[in-house]
Amino acid sequence: MKLVAIVGMTGAGKSEVSRLFEKNGFIRLRFGDITDEEVRKRGLELNEENERRIREHLREEYGMAAYAVLNLSRIDLALKQQDVVIDGLYSWEEYTFLKNYYGEGFYVVAVWASPKTRYRRLAARDSRPLTVAEAAARDRAEVEKINKSGPIAMADFTILNESSLKDLAKRVKAVMAALRRMT
């Protein structure tokens, strides 16, 4: 079985790519579900400020590999059934934890879009839209505090996502075909 992690900056298209993997037979696990569950459990509103606070708190409590550690049993269970795609691996520590744990069966796909494109998408999204200032602040926090750039740099595949959903789907299919050829 293969474990594929989708990485990229906020608004790059990670969730869309993950959904395309899911439509092609992968079980999709969203790391951010842990944040959402914790926000709700504490009776807080789902918004950027509360989500950031929870993400940082969980990493303080469990270390920078928190989301990989907290999702490990879910990943193992899903891999018993079929290939798995992780929506939203973030930190270098999550990457190294999963790479050490799963070895050659672990692949990383980076989704890249320019800040201008990502900020436009984030402002227009229905769920949890961000202003340009909020998106830029999140970028800085993710690079400086969460070590997000390492997994993007170490990706096995990179998908450029600057145009249409149709173009994105074509690029994702090419990556999935390449993954099928890998042992």
Helices H / strands E in the chain, number of each = 9, 5
The pLDDT-based confidence of 145 (bands split at 50, 70, 90) is: confident
Question: 3-178 architecture in CATH?
Answer: 3-Layer(aba) Sandwich (3.40)
Q: Edge-to-edge strand order for the sheet containing 27-30?
A: 27-30, 84-87, 3-7, 106-112, 157-160
Q: How many CB atoms lie within 10 A of CB 49?
A: 10
What are the structural domain ranges in the chain? Answer: 3-178
Q: How far apart are CA 79 and CA 109, in angstroms?
A: 18
Where residue 97 falls among pLDDT bands split at 50, 70, 90?
A: very high
Q: What is the pLDDT of residue 183?
A: 66
Name the β-bridge partners of 109.
Answer: 6, 157
Q: Token digits for 179? A: 């993954």
pLDDT digits (tens, 9 = 90+) for 102-112: 999 999 999 99
The answer to pTM > 0.85 is: yes
SS3 32: coil
In whole numbers, what is the pLDDT of the chain averaged over residues?
95
Cα distances from 82 to residues 48, 146, 150, 169, 183, in angstroms, run 33, 29, 27, 21, 15
- Residue 16 exposed, middle or buried by CB count within 10 Å (0-12, 13-18, 19+): middle
Give phi and psi for 164, each to the nearest 5: -90, 165
Q: pLDDT (tens digit, 9 = 90+) per residue, 47-66?
A: 878 988 998 899 999 999 99
